[in-house]
Homo-oligomer: A and B are copies of this chain.
């Protein structure tokens, strides 16, 4: 690790160089790291694929993974996709929304807002609940017009949206509620799967996610007719050898990915338990540090501990979020400004009146304050505690 510290940061933080020398990790602690299934077991599972010579198009492992996901997640239908962007794109197409507006959040990954663009739908950005950082039902209610076609909400960091309120608003206005549940694998609300809520929810199985197939995703729904339409649309809209129902796309998952998923699914609860220890270690050290807001722990929610986003208030903490991000890198801790910037800042989205920062004060502040700390089971409570100590010492040094 180089000791060439940024002079501006060194000047702001008393005694940074000795602190780095004492605390720096010998290898990078990235924001996340995928768990790999035993390679021998992966090979064993592929033997059948090799025998069948069936690599994609609803293969045997693909079917098995869909059935096992339905059981594991407690949902009626799970349909696999090549990734979690295409699944969300197809969800919107499957709902057959006419051109118009979709009420959504700007505090998300580009995919959420981009799939509206691909579906010829205009985003109406609305502001967040300051605690969960999810879309605020009051703001949703105020955003309805006669052009509203759907609500597209995100369970950010696996924190449940106010699902009952959103359901009521959707029903009241006769529009579906779609969840980008990329972060919400396995989350329970009041002892039930969070994924039961909404007309359809989209999961991501990207390598950075709790449950991964390398690239991958899924749609879950309780609506059998919608599920059937989804399955056709992800395969070009093909219904049978001579019939195409709609201008679909190819969003199919291959057997190579499904095999990986089957093995990971077996161990995903162990990974959640290990991540719970990591987030608990962060909480033990960071709870009460001035200027830091830790993620909420609602009593009626079983979180999946996928992320540990902290909000950094510069005045109270002594460093702003970007300074803390830069300082942590000196210690080989690679945190992530996630989500930053807001999608409402993109050139093609900021033209909408709802993208005005004045309309989105909570989201604007969150994007500037949020920092996701490393979370993955193997990191362990000891390393998480050490990262927490580094953050605490940075605070002490910056606000002596």
A-to-B contact residues, CB < 8 Å: 33-34, 36, 39, 42-43, 46-47, 50, 53-57, 82-86, 89, 109-111, 113-115, 117-118, 120, 206-207, 212, 214-215, 236-238, 241-242, 244, 246-250, 252-257, 260, 337, 340-341, 346, 348
Docked-complex contact A254 and B39, CB < 8 angstroms: no
Beta-carbon nearest neighbor of A257 in chain B = B256
Q: How far is the CB of A212 from chain B (nearest CB, A)?
A: 7
Docked-complex contact B113 and A247, CB < 8 angstroms: yes
The docked-state distance in angstroms from the alpha carbon of A113 to that of B236 is 10
Docked-complex contact A39 and B33, CB < 8 angstroms: no
Docked-complex contact B56 and A214, CB < 8 angstroms: yes
Docked-complex contact B55 and A111, CB < 8 angstroms: no
Docked-complex contact A249 and B114, CB < 8 angstroms: yes
Tell me whether A337 and B242 are in contact in the complex, defined as CB-CB below 8 angstroms, given that A46-B39, A83-B82 are known contacts.
yes
Beta-carbon nearest neighbor of A349 in chain B = B247
Please report whether the interface of chain A is mostly helix, strand, loop or mixed according to DSSP.
loop
Beta-carbon nearest neighbor of A110 in chain B = B236
Docked-complex contact A237 and B110, CB < 8 angstroms: yes
Docked-complex contact B34 and A53, CB < 8 angstroms: yes
Known: A56-B214, A110-B236, A110-B244; 9 extra A-B contacts, CB below 8 A, are A39-B50, A56-B207, A110-B248, A120-B120, A207-B254, A215-B252, A215-B254, A247-B348, A256-B257
Docked-complex contact A242 and B340, CB < 8 angstroms: yes
The docked-state distance in angstroms from the alpha carbon of A240 to that of B156 is 22
Residues of B within 8 A of A39 (CB): 43, 46-47, 50
Docked-complex contact B55 and A34, CB < 8 angstroms: yes
Docked-complex contact A118 and B215, CB < 8 angstroms: no
Q: How far is the CB of A344 from chain B (nearest CB, A)?
A: 12
Q: How far is the CB of A80 from chain B (nearest CB, A)?
A: 11
Docked-complex contact A114 and B56, CB < 8 angstroms: no
Docked-complex contact B83 and A250, CB < 8 angstroms: yes
The docked-state distance in angstroms from the alpha carbon of A56 to that of B204 is 14
The docked-state distance in angstroms from the alpha carbon of A83 to that of B253 is 10
Q: How far is the CB of A20 from chain B (nearest CB, A)?
A: 22
Docked-complex contact B110 and A346, CB < 8 angstroms: no
Residues of B within 8 A of A34 (CB): 53, 55
